[in-house]
């Protein structure tokens, strides 16, 4: 089965100080930060029961610095794939898909 989310949180916290899991609306975030949420689970079955489940998280790095090194660090994580980037409210967003 997949690893506990708390372990993934700890890994992300080594990349930047502010890490938010599914932040509620209205939360004042501090930048740079990582925002992530669980968005998919890949299950493999045997005997009609799941014997392996891998959770996929959408991980977004948000930083005012367009040359931030944090996206490179997220991209270096195992099973990480860059999805897209965009700018909103003068902040750079880098979106990754990470299985953990």
Q: Residue 79's domain is classified under what CATH number?
A: 3.30.2000.10
Lowest-confidence region among 44-48, 74-78, 81-85? 44-48
> Would you say 54 and 39 are in contact if contact means Cβ atoms under 8 Å apart?
no
How sure is the predictor about 51, in pLDDT bands with cuts at 50, 70 and 90? confident
Mean pLDDT of the chain: 94
Residue 2: per-residue pLDDT:
54
Please count the structural domains in the chain: 1
Residue 34: per-residue pLDDT:
98
Domain coverage including residue 90? 5-99
Cα-based torsion angle of the residue sequence 12, 9, 63, 97 in order, rounded to the nearest 10 degrees: 80
* CA atoms of 84 and 56, how far apart (whole Å): 16
Per-residue 3-state assignment (H helix, E strand, C coil) for 56-98: EEEEEEEECCCCCCHHHHHHCCCCEEEEEEEEECCEEEEEEEE
Average pLDDT on 11-25 reads 96
Residue 25: per-residue pLDDT:
92
Residue 83: per-residue pLDDT:
98
> Would you say 91 and 31 are in contact if contact means Cβ atoms under 8 Å apart?
yes
The token duo for 45 is 């079955």
């Amino acid at each position: 089965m997949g690893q506990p989310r708390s372990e993934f949180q700890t890994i992300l916290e080594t990349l930047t100080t502010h890490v938010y899991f599914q932040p509620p609306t209205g939360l004042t975030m501090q930048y740079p930060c990582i925002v992530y949420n669980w968005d998919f689970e890949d299950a493999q079955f045997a005997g009609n029961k799941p014997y392996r489940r891998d959770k996929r998280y959408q991980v977004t790095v948000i930083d005012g610095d367009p040359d931030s090194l944090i996206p490179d660090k997220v991209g270096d994580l195992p099973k990480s794939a860059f999805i897209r980037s965009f700018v909103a409210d003068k902040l750079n967003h880098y979106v990754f898909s990470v299985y953990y």
